[in-house]
Structure 1
Amino acid sequence: MSVYTEVERDELVAFLGEYAVGDLVSYEGISDGIENTNYFVTTTQGKFVLTLFEHHDFAELGYFLDVMTFFYQHGIPSAHPAADKQGQYLKTLSGKPAALVVRLAGRGVNTEATLGQCAEIGAILGEMHLAGKDFTARRATERGADWRQSTAETLLTHLDDDVTDMLRDELRVQSAYATLDLPWGVTHSDLFRDNALFDGDELTGIIDFYYASDEYLLYDLAVAVNDWCVDETGLPDQQRYQTMMQHYLEKRSLTQAEQANWNLVLRAAALRFWLSRLQDQIFPREGELTQIKNPDAFLKILRFHREHPLTLEFN
């Protein structure tokens, strides 16, 4: 979440007039995150997050809003879009596709996750993967194996020799990723600590479904493990890891193929976010409030997984 498109107050007042949400009280840009323009919006009848989509067009945005609505209707605590007076979720503001999403209580996790928070995320992700079996819309991932390969090729000339050698070897190891025989379906694919809201250790909601797509369910779990289960050094912590995995596995068991490919998928998830952050760092986009996250955090995690595969045997 960043601010690339500035919204004038008069524009926003007119936009909100098409909803039954009362009058505008205040709004402010959100600097967290990277991809879209976001504002906190407060009206006389509620609190919302306004998102202007910087990269997606109308044809594909309906999918994301359908995912959010689906999970909300299936008992997953999650952000869901508000409909305008004509029942529409998706509109236009400042020349960009826009949606008004009900703002949930709670805060993102800005420090290391607690064991209680890891337990909550493990359990809710398992529930999401079970519920998602009934979601019928399809959308291919934008950041899959092909994207990782092509993005790596554009970045190789900007890296030191030792990192270049490691990246080439990792791409070789992951060359068969797209053909793995693993359960797949709708995934969040970006369930980081800042995309889940908590009140203490109580989960109040999952947000930011704008990377949702068809992927291996194991990849979704790997993304969460790589972010939630690290300690203050940025490396995987066994207590957090075991807690998340145990609560996930209480909801959904892993197949033999998933168990055999766990390390590879953990590495693929780390590679994806290292490359995307590195791309943002080397080829930054302009915005009023933007946040470029440190790519080295995921380079560190990728190297860890290459040298220290995490076990699936728990106490």
Structure 2
Amino acid sequence: MAVFTVVNETDLAHWMRHYDLGDVVDFRGIPSGIENSNFFLTTTRGAYVLTIFEKLTAEQLPFYLELMRHLAHHGVPVPDPMPRHDGALFGMLHGKPAAIVTKLPGQAELAPAAEHCAEVGQMLARMHLAGREFKPYLPNLRSLPWWQETVPQVLPFLSDSQRELATSELAHQSAFFASADYAALPGGPCHCDLFRDNVLFAPAAPGTNHTVRLGGFFDFYFAGCDKWLFDVAVTVNDWCVDLASGRLDDARANAMLRAYQTVRPFTPEERRHWADMLRAGAYRFWVSRLYDFYLPRAAEMLKPHDPTHFERILRDRLAGVAPLTASSPCN
């Protein structure tokens, strides 16, 4: 069970004094956490999630919680952090920052169809536009500077072909990031990690034509300010691929990209550099998984993800992806 910090009844009773959320009805650990300790919390006022942040510090946390609160208050279905009596969105529990957020409805869909991808694409565009008014700034901490720092550390563990791929792609991305076209790409707050297990779907409302209904996006703790196209590429690289080969599934990718563009059409620069950004999205997760696999932190408690999955995706994107167009999104 991935609950790293235990919370007993006494701890919880003391913690809840800081909130006006009613009486506790049920409290239990969530076994699927990877970075944090998470608990389902049901009170007489509603359903919530209590999170104890095992790695994020009290100085880092405000950006993420304030972004979630901003998005929730602008009609984007994300967990809404609950303020304490003093107005703060988090406090310290067992010496670690902790917060209570609203619980989203639904379950993750780990085998998505085109209709799931369309729902995600449309809401992702709405989230990007809603974030334009968000003033705090934090860069994506797993972007180019982190790649440049991390790749030399993992190179000794790689085969010759992997080292060539890692170094050549870093050079390509460094040049791309320095280009005028990259500077012209629109951006703002991004989720940066919108994988299938970070989205929930609820049953469709009766009497509608929809077969699925988006419950919401969660786990914003890798979020940061980046190019919106990077966020789209990261999402497509997870939701719209054949997991065995890493190849794009055209039906799902087209559904997601068309739905996104009904809310925010892509710019000419975005359409030209779709392949570059798909490569950037794949590279980011290949590098991070290589790092976690070969250089795990001393206190790491869970088995790291297999890095070869994103190596396959990156090699597939290098084989060729046509630029985006308004009428034919991915081919």
Tell me which interval the TM-score lies in, with the shorter structure as reference length.
over 0.9
> How far, CA to CA, are the matches of 1:235 and 1:13 in structure 2?
50
Is 1:269–2:281 an aligned residue pair?
A: yes
CA drift of 1:289 comes to: 6.4
Out of 205, 225, 229, which is 1:218 matched to?
229
**Contact residue 4 and residue 288 of structure 1 kept, 8 A:** no
Deviates more, 1:64-73 or 1:81-90: 81-90
Which TM-score applies when normalising by structure 2? Answer: 0.88
Q: Secondary structure at the match of 2:60?
A: helix
Deviates more, 1:291-300 or 1:132-141: 291-300
Q: Secondary structure at the match of 2:174?
A: coil
Could you tell me which amino acid in structure 2 is paired with residue 166 of structure 1?
A: L
CA drift of 1:151 comes to: 1.2
**Contact residue 3 and residue 31 of structure 1 kept, 8 A:** yes
Tell me the equivalent position of 2:83. Answer: 83
Out of 191, 194, 214, which is 1:203 matched to?
214
> How far, CA to CA, are the matches of 2:130 and 2:33 in structure 1?
27
The equivalences for 1:239-250 within 5 A come to 239-250=251-262
CA drift of 1:134 comes to: 1.4
CA drift of 1:124 comes to: 0.7
Deviates more, 1:143-152 or 1:81-90: 81-90
Q: Which has the higher contact order (CA 8 A, sep 6+)?
A: 1
> How far, CA to CA, are the matches of 1:87 and 1:193 in structure 2?
33
> How far, CA to CA, are the matches of 1:47 and 1:161 in structure 2?
51
CA drift of 1:24 comes to: 3.5
Tell me the equivalent position of 2:53. Answer: 53
Unaligned runs of 5+ in 1: none
Distance 1:161 1:9, change over 3 A: farther
The equivalences for 1:63-212 within 5 A come to 63-109=63-109, 111-179=110-178, 180-181=182-183, 182-200=185-203, 201-212=212-223
Distance 1:284 1:6, change over 3 A: farther
**What's the CA shift string for 1:271-299, capped at 9, x where partnerless?**
11112122222233466963532222211
Tell me the equivalent position of 1:298. Answer: 310
Distance 1:288 1:58, change over 3 A: closer
Deviates more, 1:17-26 or 1:177-186: 17-26
> How far, CA to CA, are the matches of 1:115 and 1:62 in structure 2?
35
**What's the CA shift string for 1:253-283, capped at 9, x where partnerless?**
2122112221111111111111212222223
> How far, CA to CA, are the matches of 1:43 and 1:143 in structure 2?
37
Unaligned runs of 5+ in 2: 204-211
Which TM-score applies when normalising by structure 1? Answer: 0.92
Number of corresponding residues: 314
Tell me the equivalent position of 1:283. Answer: 295
**What's the CA shift string for 1:114-157, capped at 9, x where partnerless?**
11110011101111122222112111221110101211111111
Percent identical? 39
Could you tell me which amino acid in structure 1 is paired with residue 254 of structure 2?
A: Q
> How far, CA to CA, are the matches of 1:19 and 1:291 in structure 2?
36
> How far, CA to CA, are the matches of 1:303 and 1:59 in structure 2?
38
**What's the CA shift string for 1:210-239, capped at 9, x where partnerless?**
122110111011111011111353431000
> How far, CA to CA, are the matches of 2:277 and 2:284 in structure 1?
10
Q: Secondary structure at the match of 2:77?
A: coil
> How far, CA to CA, are the matches of 2:320 and 2:83 in structure 1?
48
**Contact residue 48 and residue 101 of structure 2 kept, 8 A:** yes
> How far, CA to CA, are the matches of 1:171 and 1:228 in structure 2?
24
Could you tell me which amino acid in structure 2 is paired with residue 133 of structure 1?
A: R
**Contact residue 112 and residue 231 of structure 1 kept, 8 A:** no
**What's the CA shift string for 1:166-194, capped at 9, x where partnerless?**
11111111112433221121111111111
